[in-house]
Structure 1
């Protein structure tokens, strides 16, 4: 068993995530998302999908990127 680094729960089914040279231990996807998912710079939601990067800033979707930076309108589009 290993303790979750977010909530401290010592759980038999905890899991490791290896990212950028570090090892993280979590007891749930919720805790992993809380610790690791980037936050949209416009609406502040957690980015769970691919997200949109504009000028080294991350957004959850093209709408948020365009809302935060109208000059990016030509650069970003959601895929349908």
Structure 2
């Protein structure tokens, strides 16, 4: 069994995720998202999909980007 690095649970069905050359161990996708997914610059929600990015800032949606003064990003054309 391997211990989840996010919650500490020792679980027989844990899994590993390799990100930027580093291996992480989790017991659930929820913990993996909590630990690895980027957070929206404005609202802090974890970005599970593609998200939007401008000048190193990540956003969960165009609405949040616009609130930060970024007008050229779009969720869809």
Fold agreement, TM-score > 0.5? yes
User: How far has the Cα of 1:44 moved from its partner?
Assistant: 1.1
Deviation per CA, 1:29-67, whole angstroms, max 9, x where unpaired? 110011001110111111111010011100001111111
Equivalence map 1:7-26=2 (5 Å): 7-26=7-26
Residue 76 of structure 1 is matched in structure 2 by 73
Residue 55 of structure 2 is matched in structure 1 by 55
Residue 36 of structure 2 is matched in structure 1 by 36
Runs of 5+ in structure 1 lacking a partner? none
SS at match of 2:18: strand
Normalization by structure 1: what TM-score? 0.90
Aligned pairs, number: 77
SS at match of 1:79: coil
Normalization by structure 2: what TM-score? 0.94
- Per residue, is there more helix in 1 or in 2? 1
The RMSD of aligned alpha carbons is 1.1
Q: Distance in 2 between matches of 1:12 and 1:41?
A: 35
SS at match of 1:34: helix
